[in-house]
Amino acid sequence: MTVTVSPVYLFDVQRGEAAAAELWDAVTERQLADWEAEWLPELFNAIQRLHRAGVERRLWPQSRQWNWRRKVQVLQGVLAHPGFSVVCENVTQGMMIVDTTTKRCRIESQKGQHLVYVEFVANAPWNRPELVSPPRFRGIGSVLIRAAIALSQEEEFKGRIGLHSLPQANSFYANTCGMTDLGVDPNYEGLRYFEMTPEQAEAFIAKGNQP
C-alpha cells in the first residue's frame, strides 16, 4: 500500500503553539495499533470517569463503540471508501473513512450531485474536550474536513461533502466548518445531517489559510 504523507499543523493546547503533524491518505496497520494500544485504554479511563461522576450513559461518546480494525478490514481494497489519518508526535491523533460513491447531495441547490460523505471520523480521546480538559491537540477535525474537501475537489465534486454528526460535534460542523444543518435524519439513528456546498467549502479553506 502506497501512502502519501502531507505536512499539516495542529495546535498544542498545553504549550500554546503550533505542532508539526502529518496527514496520511490511509488508515494503516500502524493507526490500528495506535487505536488498540493508545486510544482504547484512554477511552476506557475517560468513560470510567464519566460513569463515576454520574454522567448518564446516553451522554457518553457514541464513537466508543466503533471498532476501527473491523471497519478497515471490511473496507480493505474498496475503492469507494478511502481513509485518512493525522499523526503527530509519532502517534495517531485522528482517523476518518469516507464514501465517495454511494451518497448524493440533499441540499436543494445541489440535489443529486456527487459528494464525499464522511462515514466515520474520530479524534484520539486525549484530544476531545468533552473527555479531557484541556485537550492535548486541537485542529484535527479541521485537518480531516479539509482532506475530505480536497478529495471532493480532486474527484470533481467541487468540495461538496456531507455527514451525519454525533451530538457532541454538531456545533463544530455548523459553526467552525460553516456547513448547512439539514436537521435530524429519522432514517439515521436520529442524528443531524450536515452538508457543505462548493461555496461553503471555499469559505472554509479560505478561513484556514488566513494568517
Partner 1 sequence: MTKRTMTLNLTDAEMRVLEELCAKKDLSKTALLRQALRLYQVVEARLEKGDKLFFEDDRTKEKAEVMML
Q: Detail the DSSP E strand segments found in 51-115.
A: 83-88, 91-99
Q: Interface mask (CB under 8 A) for partner 1, residues 3-22, using x and -?
A: -x------------------
* By CB under 8 A, residue 113 contacts partner 1: yes
Tell me the C-alpha distance between 172 and 177, whole Å.
6
* By CB under 8 A, residue 153 contacts partner 1: no
- SS3 of residue 85 by DSSP: strand
By C-beta, is 101 or 176 nearer to partner 1?
101
By C-beta, is 127 or 197 nearer to partner 1?
197
Q: Interface mask (CB under 8 A) for partner 1, residues 89-108, using x and -?
A: -----------xxx------
By C-beta, is 2 or 210 nearer to partner 1?
2
What are the two backbone dihedrals, phi and then psi, of residue 182, each rounded to the nearest 5 degrees? -95, 10
* By CB under 8 A, residue 202 contacts partner 1: no
Tell me the C-alpha distance between 90 and 104, whole Å.
36
Q: How many Cα atoms sit within 13 Å of 209 on the Cβ side? A: 7
* By CB under 8 A, residue 79 contacts partner 1: yes
> Which of the stretches 29-37, 73-81, 84-92, 133-141 binds partner 1 when contact is defined by CB under 8 A?
73-81
> Which of the stretches 39-47, 58-66, 74-82, 164-172 binds partner 1 when contact is defined by CB under 8 A?
74-82
- SS3 of residue 205 by DSSP: helix
Q: At 122, which amino acid appears?
A: A
CB atoms within 10 A of CB 77: 6
Q: Which of 100, 90, 43, 103 is nearest to 67 (CA)?
A: 43
Q: Interface mask (CB under 8 A) for partner 1, residues 24-63, using x and -?
A: -x--------------------------------------
Binding to partner 1 (CB under 8 A) within 155-174 occurs at: 155-156, 158
* By CB under 8 A, residue 187 contacts partner 1: no
Q: How far is CA 138 from CA 19, 55, 58, 148, in A?
A: 10, 24, 25, 18
- Which segments of 76-166 does DSSP mark as H helices, in order? 140-154
The binding site for partner 1 (CB under 8 A) comprises 2, 4, 25, 78-80, 100-102, 113-114, 155-156, 158
